[in-house]
Amino acid sequence: MADGDLRDNPAPREEREAENAASAAGDVEDAQESDAARRRRRAQFLRELHEAKQLRDRVQPRRARAARMRQQMRMRTFRW
């Protein structure tokens, strides 16, 4: 009899569909939140990397100057 009651009563299926829809909406929000968090972490990493490069250039001016000269030479010899 209990099986017949479940087949006749569509409410459990509707509840499951509602739960699935709610969890899918939650997954989308989590994905968007994690994407935003990833972008924040990436921006923080790039800021720290830029700061570290500036510090290295200040600490090692001769090496920084040589690197700038190499970059200028690459740009002069680059063909479009």
- Whole-angstrom distance, CA of residue 67 vs CA of residue 9: 75
| Per-residue pLDDT tens over the stretch 29-47 | 777 778 999 999 999 999 9
The C-alpha angle with vertex 24 and arms to 30 and 28, in degrees rounded to 5, equals: 30
**What kind and span of H or E run contains 19?**
helix 11-59
Query: Once rounded to an integer, what is the mean pLDDT over residues 67-74?
Result: 92
- pLDDT of 14 reads 66
Cα first-last separation, the chain: 80
In angstroms, how far is CA 33 from the centroid of its own chain? 9
